[in-house]
């Protein structure tokens, strides 16, 4: 149990037929980002974590003012941070709409079949300039740091946390597993 109440259950979302998709965008110009490779990494983490069906995650690379503003507005933090994750809770798809607003589909459009609506998982935002500063004392290289932050953010969206020692150890173990399988150095030394 964390200080904020009972731990959030880890999500194993299942959307309609299909596969998890990551929509990635580089909205900053401070550092080059392998958007396609990092989106593939995020998709691999989703699949490995048991996400099934047509589901969507947004991965955005943003500048320091943007992430600092979001950090302050939504988390009460000061200044820029390296990664933020915003899960969309209640990913259950129900007839007539998505939980929790399971109301009508609106008067101006036909009813949507529940199986046609992808499951929205959430958003992960990464700040490459903060990642670059932190890399030498954290993951080592800039590329390794970005990969770690993407994996970390995806795990947060799926309900993992690091509010206490046990949660931290579990989350770090999952990060290492995903990075060894799918990260920038996956397969090295084999």
Per-residue pLDDT of 120-146, as tens digits, reads 899 999 999 999 999 999 888 999 999
User: Is there a contact between 173 and 181 (Cβ–Cβ < 8 Å)?
Assistant: no
Write the pLDDT tens digit of every residue in 60-119: 999 999 999 999 999 999 999 999 999 985 444 333 333 333 333 444 444 444 455 568
The whole-number pLDDT of residue 23 equals 95
Q: Has residue 149 got a pLDDT over 70?
A: yes
Q: Has residue 183 got a pLDDT over 50?
A: yes
Cα 171 from Cα 159, distance rounded (Å): 10
The whole-number pLDDT of residue 52 equals 82
Write the pLDDT tens digit of every residue in 7-17: 444 455 555 57
| DSSP line for 3-69 | TTBSPPPPP--B-SSS-EEEEEEE---SS---HHHHHHHHHHHHHHTT-BSSEEEEEEE--HHHHHH
The whole-number pLDDT of residue 18 equals 74
Work out whether strand 55-61 and strand 83-87 pair parallel, antiparallel, or are unpaired.
unpaired
* Nearest CA among 158, 22, 133 for reference residue 82: 133
Longest dimension (CA), the chain: 59
**Helices 165-182 and 35-48, interaxial angle, to 10°?**
120
| Cβ neighbours of residue 14 closer than 8 Å, sequence gap 6 or more | 51, 52, 53, 119
pLDDT bin (cut points 50, 70, 90) of residue 186 is low
Buried b (16+ CB within 10 A) or exposed e, 52-87: bbbbbbbbbbbbbebbbebbeeeeeeeebbbbbbbb
Pick the residue with more confidence: 102 or 41? 41
Map out the domains of the chain with their CATH numbers. 20-182 (3.40.390.30)
The whole-number pLDDT of residue 70 equals 95
Cα 66 from Cα 84, distance rounded (Å): 11
**Residue indicated by tokens 């390794």:** 144
**Residue indicated by tokens 């949660």:** 167
């Amino acid at each position: 149990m964390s200080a904020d109440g009972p731990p959030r259950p880890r999500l194993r979302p299942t959307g309609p037929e299909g596969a998890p998709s990551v929509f990635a965008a580089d909205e900053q110009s401070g550092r080059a980002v392998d958007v396609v490779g990092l989106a593939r990494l995020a998709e691999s983490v989703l699949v490995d974590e048991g996400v099934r069906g047509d589901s969507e995650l947004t991965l955005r690379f943003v500048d320091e003012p943007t992430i600092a503003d979001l950090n302050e507005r939504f988390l009460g933090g000061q200044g820029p941070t390296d990664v933020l994750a915003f899960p969309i809770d209640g990913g259950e798809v129900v007839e007539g709409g998505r939980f929790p607003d399971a109301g009508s589909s609106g008067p101006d459009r036909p009813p949507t079949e529940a199986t046609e609506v992808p499951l929205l998982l959430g958003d992960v935002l990464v700040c490459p300039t903060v990642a670059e500063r932190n890399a030498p004392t954290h993951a080592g290289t800039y590329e390794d740091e970005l990969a770690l932050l993407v994996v970390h953010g995806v795990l947060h969206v799926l309900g993992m946390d690091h509010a206490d020692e046990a949660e931290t150890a579990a989350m770090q173990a999952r990060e290492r597993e995903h990075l060894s399988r799918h990260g920038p150095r996956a397969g090295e030394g084999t």
